[in-house]
Structure 1
């Protein structure tokens, strides 16, 4: 990761279309079956509670949820903390589902916007918290700095950041893991590399934690739930899709157990003045 972008105006069209296609309505609802309602990643309320405990909450905080997915955290933050949440996601299918659920009265104080974080029309110094779960891995290396520099400008003085993301372990990775990363279209940093990106983008109080054991617990529970609820899954999706999900989870569990795939929690701040 370089400490400065190579160009001022990135070409985001291909990346946006690829991610938008990957997270279609069908694929999002299929993944929700294994993660839980509203989620495309670890969804337990205990996970959410441990993450939110890392930030200072007061009623009325404005939160930008980058890569909001199916809105699970956005709805929870609005309901539990009285936050006003803008959920941003590149997938129009996922933001469409979120808007429908918001209209159905799940919770107030949440809006969902379709757009790429690199180009979306967002006002500077408008947010108190940037929250993003397991999304940075889709950004190419040179875009990671650019995005966090922009997100720094969107936060008010004293603003807070919480990130969870997948990273690569410090040791040399296996060929199987590198193939998995390529097939998934991920661009993974190490924990130290992630810290360097945030610090180079002028964030302070950057704290990085390896929470891979928590990820393993979540994934094992998700796989067990999927296997238990196989008949309900097959009522909506195919046997091939079921087997593909099981295979994917088994691989991720093994990569995490070998510490090739690492799950990170990072917090940071914008200086108060």
Structure 2
């Protein structure tokens, strides 16, 4: 592999090239390449792994396949024991106006969530329970980081992701008739009593600071998840999952199996 390509891939690993990132591991790469939202730039493999996935790799196209040494794969890997196969991809950016709403519109707005594990878990839940698009607001963690990708179990590759400022998303929600909903620890409407059969945007805030002031001020409804015990609140990923499940249940979107 040429030094220029290695340097470029190192920049991508460090997330210094917009919308480009690395995916490590056969299972995640196989899932990613089925997505119409990603463009494969390079497939990096070692000789050790080639024989195991030869059929899959040969189907990629020789111009995108690059063989590297074990030493170089370690420089690109996110783990101590590299799996020997890494893809460099570019995400095809979406816009608010390009969202394809299939049923009653549902957006999930990420308002400053900082933990990659929480964000990845929410993305996985969002894809499972019928969210139409993921909106990323300023000061949120990197949605294309390896930790987010792994926590999402590949669901990241199937959701439209839109990066917005506060003014842009608030204007869009007001223009399109969305209800912006936030959660509060107490004194909100209990989620079981709320009717979710309208165009909705669920805003989830930072783990410690909570919802930002612009999104708080623009919220139409405030919901509370009743809890029991000594904890005063739920983890943001857990709270978001409970709300999205309740929405899917009310909208009759749930089914067992595929």
Output the TM-score relative to the length of structure 1: 0.27
Instruction: Kindly indicate which of the two structures has a greater share of residues assigned to helix.
Output: 1
Output the TM-score relative to the length of structure 2: 0.29
